[in-house]
Structure 1
């Protein structure tokens, strides 16, 4: 097949996307496909609309890639691609709206409130303190890879954390800090037939699973499968598949959770275009069931063609 890979982009996750794109292109070439690599920029949309390919792999992360914008361009140009469509991508990227959907459908989430930049009139710190007591989390509503995220340990940090969040987005989420074990679940399959791969527990070298822990070699330890009671593991996998379906995801996604000492799993987010770098989690989950990186990428193609 003739396949284009979009990678790079202009978001804060560009460096990660470059690595993801390289991995995808190498895997596709190893499987005998003709590959066209495109370092994507929103100013060059016409380059995308004129693609003459059988399929597109989107190796972009964050804004202008994972948020549905590129998907809408491909849809209008009638170019097939691997992964979730416009609505699912936009919903999953909007953490506030996604949390509302999870709450409504019985998937536990941390208590949170969303604030817009126009509300930052000098009273936002006091508004936050009316509802939250440190420690709590402040993060951009639409951003990935923990960019702009702060764990507020004391009241003196609130102003700086708010400013940091608004540097990345016009909305921020403030939510309770949930202490526990970080786990993630890779989900894939045709619509209605999705399945969860083995749960991975993430043990970061830093205080929490930050950007460095995610993408630096040796930045975190991945335990596959996670050492969880069977009932808890089954519940987390059920929630992961349900979250994937609620968002309307297609082909694959990765769903992140925190599991408390009381064994309550709190969902963090659904990643519609999870990283595919050498240190990424989805390839580790596939490897745990005997599927190589190259075969995993090929399976994404197979699933997409069956949709």
Structure 2
């Protein structure tokens, strides 16, 4: 028998390129939620969502709609307007964390180590921009869309001609592209579970079976990547990564959950690459692995996140603060 009388909606899909991946997360969550709550439903992120949230009298939403609209504060704003509790960060933190440029400017101001970068706009002269990027960032660079996840749209370029061609291709899809210096190192990630008090999960190293970059295919195809938790790093470096992950989570104002990705060079400091404010829950996702290494079973993780979101509702924390204001006189009739 379910132990809590509540209806939980898992919201997935939507217009993002990550829609199919989000549905994998949803499929994994539904049975876990059905084991504890009176009702669990999977809803699509589209124009029917507001009506369905009301039809099912949803008490709390577990968003797994990764990428634009689901993860960038749009869905979160809708839920705030409707007064529905939800797992994860609020509107502002979601919007800031989803935009790689905004994330970097906030964290850069706090002294967190980041890759050097340039933002290129569609309106810019690509010949000039390509030359400036090579001069400032080096011959080998990485191109990234500002608001996509799961490695979508990422390209590697080496040299002026290659960079100019790939900038042109990227800007045919996006208004802006982030160009970063290429840093060689180990791919590392660290999650933060922020419920009654923040817990930084054990650090994970990501490797691929064929030594390839950890792209979309390698992320979501079982057997193509390996997650080693805890990562075999020097103790001081390991601790430093956890400290940065927590600091980034707090600086961006994240709530409940986040995961920070790093490149760790052979020498020097770990470099934070990006922060994911709504980590995936698929069978190959990294956050559940970190939780498991901390002794937190998947079911316990999911139930704790939902219970925490429900507690915000019962405590009245999902409503906007109200301030008393003077009463305005009614305008006199003309």
* CA displacement, residues 148-175 of structure 1 (integer Å, 9 cap, x when unaligned): 1111133332133213432543111111
Corresponding position of 2:85: 80
Please state how far the C-alpha of 1:21 moved relative to its aligned partner: 1.0
* CA displacement, residues 240-268 of structure 1 (integer Å, 9 cap, x when unaligned): 01100111000011111111111411001
User: CA–CA distance in 2 between the matches of 1:178 and 1:27?
Assistant: 39
Match of 1:131 among 133, 136, 151: 136
Q: Does 1:53 align with 2:58?
A: yes
Q: Does 1:232 align with 2:241?
A: no
Q: Does 1:213 align with 2:218?
A: yes
Corresponding position of 2:200: 196
- 5+ residue gaps, structure 1: none
Q: Does 1:270 align with 2:295?
A: no
Please state how far the C-alpha of 1:207 moved relative to its aligned partner: 2.2
Match of 1:145 among 150, 157, 160: 150
Maintained 8 Å contact 1:49/1:73: no
SS of aligned partner of 1:50: helix
User: CA–CA distance in 2 between the matches of 1:262 and 1:181?
Assistant: 11
Q: 1:121–1:49: structure 2 CA closer, same or farther, 3 Å change rule? A: farther
User: CA–CA distance in 2 between the matches of 1:124 and 1:171?
Assistant: 12
User: CA–CA distance in 2 between the matches of 1:59 and 1:141?
Assistant: 20
User: CA–CA distance in 2 between the matches of 1:167 and 1:249?
Assistant: 32
Q: CA RMSD of the aligned region, Å?
A: 1.8
* CA displacement, residues 146-201 of structure 1 (integer Å, 9 cap, x when unaligned): 1111111333321332134325431111111111001101101237x212000000
Maintained 8 Å contact 1:24/1:59: no
Maintained 8 Å contact 1:23/1:277: yes
Corresponding position of 1:114: 119
User: CA–CA distance in 2 between the matches of 1:132 and 1:162?
Assistant: 15
User: CA–CA distance in 2 between the matches of 1:293 and 1:44?
Assistant: 30
Maintained 8 Å contact 1:148/1:167: no
Corresponding position of 2:43: 38
Please state how far the C-alpha of 1:33 moved relative to its aligned partner: 3.8
Maintained 8 Å contact 2:126/2:167: no
* CA displacement, residues 104-138 of structure 1 (integer Å, 9 cap, x when unaligned): 11110000111222225654333433423221111
SS of aligned partner of 1:118: coil
Q: 1:106–1:123: structure 2 CA closer, same or farther, 3 Å change rule? A: closer
- 5+ residue gaps, structure 2: 1-5, 313-334
Corresponding position of 1:92: 97
SS of aligned partner of 1:186: strand
SS of aligned partner of 1:165: helix
* CA displacement, residues 22-48 of structure 1 (integer Å, 9 cap, x when unaligned): 11112111234411111212x335335
Mean Cα displacement is larger for which, 125-134 or 57-66?
125-134
Q: Does 1:63 align with 2:68?
A: yes
Corresponding position of 2:166: 161
User: CA–CA distance in 1 between the matches of 2:141 and 2:235?
Assistant: 30
Corresponding position of 1:18: 23
User: CA–CA distance in 1 between the matches of 2:110 and 2:124?
Assistant: 29
**With structure 2 as the length reference, what TM-score do the two structures score?**
0.86
